[in-house]
Amino acid sequence: MAIKKQYLKSKPVCKVTFSVPADEAKKVAVVGDFNNWNPKGSKLKKLKNGTFKGTFEFPNENSYEFRYLVDGNYINDAEADRFQWNDYAGTENAVLEV
């Protein structure tokens, strides 16, 4: 898994590209507190090499809890900026800081 950040000079946002290698998966989305944990509108596109990839814009100077939803199962990104315990889920969520 990988997270790539690109800060824009023209506006206060960061373009974040999420890459998830998941050859066998049918659907992958990135969900978090930025989209109310709803996979609609945050699905990643499957590439020919089996990696799912998508780019989204996030306002600068914020942090967001997120996870990947891979065929209905939640997984964290090992390369997240940090991890935050979530009492509601009873587990840690990955955190993106932009």
Phi, psi of 43 (to 5 degrees): -75, 145
CATH number at residue 89: 2.60.40.10
pLDDT (0 to 100) of residue 63: 97
- CA nearest to 78, candidates 8, 21, 36, 26: 21
What domain range is 92 assigned to? 2-97
pLDDT digits 0-9 by tens, 26-55: 999 999 999 999 999 999 999 999 999 999
Long-range contacts of 33-40 (CB under 8 A, 24+ apart): 33/64, 33/65, 33/66, 34/58, 34/64, 34/66, 39/69
pLDDT of residue 89: 80
Task: Note the pTM of the prediction, 2 decimals.
Answer: 0.93
Residues 67-94 have a mean pLDDT of 94
Of the listed ranges 14-23, 29-38, 59-68, 83-92, the one predicted with least confidence: 83-92
Strands in 13-21's sheet, in edge-to-edge order, are 2-7, 13-21, 51-59, 45-46
Q: Work out how many domains the chain is built from and give that number.
A: 1
